[in-house]
Amino acid sequence: MQTHTLLMPLDMHLHLRDGVMLENVAPLSAYSFSGAIVMPNLVSPVSSLKDIQEYKQRIMASVPNDYFEPYMTLFYKNYDKAFLESVADDITAIKLYPAGITTNSEGGVSSFNIKEMSETLEAMSELEIPLCVHGETDGFVMDREAEFMSIYELLASSFPKLKIIMEHITTKEAVEMLDKYENLYATITVHHLLLTLDDVVGGMMMPHNFCKPIAKRPEDLDALLSVALKAHPKVMFGSDSAPHPQNKKESCGCAAGVFTAPIALQLLCEIFEQYESLDNLQAFVSDNAQSIYGICPEFKEVTLEKRTFVIPQNYSSVVPIYAGQAINWAIQTVD
């Protein structure tokens, strides 16, 4: 039986929510990942030292039997340097959302005025705090990420010492941007390595494939695969696994988010094997992230085996991508 072992897998973009949802989904990530960058867009965003510490405590209380490091983030506002110095040891990054562009982002940035943002971004540069960005405008849905490239260029050129992570990139334009600026990096999800817009609305609407940014064109998928499969040193895995209750997905006003956390590594093995690139998967799911963020996770060894695995219909009322379908890889052991 074919097996493949991954050391210290990391998810560099994860939504854990809060309350009962946190208790349900956090153990699923903690089982197979050594750690994750945890998003701060709760209903009341994580924006103070108290928020950070209390949210981390709630996460750790939800995963008492698994080693798992939640790398905490702060919801971007125009903070002063003194505040950033006070929280620097408690966070790994700061997450910037354009206002109203996705779930719980209403308090995000409404204008990318470099003068107004400079105090915060200069301080982040000095303190070596990375900036993670949800890079979409409010334009036509298929063009939103491509339109945001000019803002990435503005940020990257204005703050050359600031490490900027283009989150969950979905377009060939974003892939091309990687090598234009030394301080630009990116996360890529597993679902954006599988889906195009056809898989969302090409036939019947598939609500559990719907997310923001939405899956794009075949040429965009090819561009993402070209850097992920080679484990380009500036890209890393970030699931953007975003749980919603089933009744919020299968309803009018379908909530944006694809839930992949419990099956992400299995799906990645399937993709990388298909393209004869399994040897590069370790760098994509761990080594690159360790280098980019300067983190050193505790040891965890995940061995996957090639066998038929039927994805559950749901995980505590959260429906995963490909629910009920068979895939070719399963987790064998976690040590």
The answer to whether residue 113 is domain-embedded is yes
β-pairing verdict for 131-133 and 164-166: parallel
Q: What residues contact residue 222 under an 8 Å CB cut-off, 6+ apart?
A: 172
Rounded Cα distance between 241 and 224, Å, is 18
Residue 64: what pLDDT? 83
Q: Is 323 exposed, middle or buried (0-12, 13-18, 19+ CB in 10 A)?
A: middle
Residue 213: is the preceding peptide bond cis (ω within 30°)? yes
CATH of the domain at 75: 3.20.20.140
Q: 244 near 294, Cβ under 8 Å? A: no
The verdict on residue 85 lying in a domain is yes
Residue 333 lies in a domain: no
DSSP, collapsed to helix, strand or coil, labels residue 37 as strand
The C-alpha atoms of residue 74 and residue 255 are separated, in whole angstroms, by: 23
The answer to whether residue 325 is domain-embedded is: no
Nearest CA among 127, 130, 140, 216 for reference residue 165: 130
Nearest to 329 by CA among 311, 308, 312, 310: 308
Written as one letter, the residue type at 224 is L
Segment-wise mean pLDDT, segments of 10 residues, the chain, 335 residues: 95 98 98 98 97 98 91 98 98 97 94 97 98 97 97 98 98 98 98 98 96 97 98 98 97 95 98 98 98 96 98 96 98 97
Position 276 in a domain: yes
Residue 70 belongs to a domain: yes
Q: Is residue 2 part of a domain?
A: no
- The whole-number pLDDT of residue 257 equals 97
Q: Are 99 and 109 in contact (CB under 8 A)?
A: yes
Distance CA 72, CA 57 (A): 11
pLDDT of residue 66: 78
Specify the 3-state DSSP secondary structure of 228: helix
As for how many domains the chain has, the answer is 1
Domain that holds residue 269: 9-297
- Domain-embedded: residue 306: no
| Three-class DSSP category at 266 | helix
Which sequence positions are flagged as catalytic?
A: 240
pLDDT at residue 65, rounded to an integer: 80
* Gap between the Cα atoms of 257 and 214, Å rounded: 9
Within the chain, where are the H helices? Answer: 19-32, 49-62, 81-87, 114-127, 144-158, 172-177, 198-201, 218-228, 246-249, 264-274, 281-282, 288-293
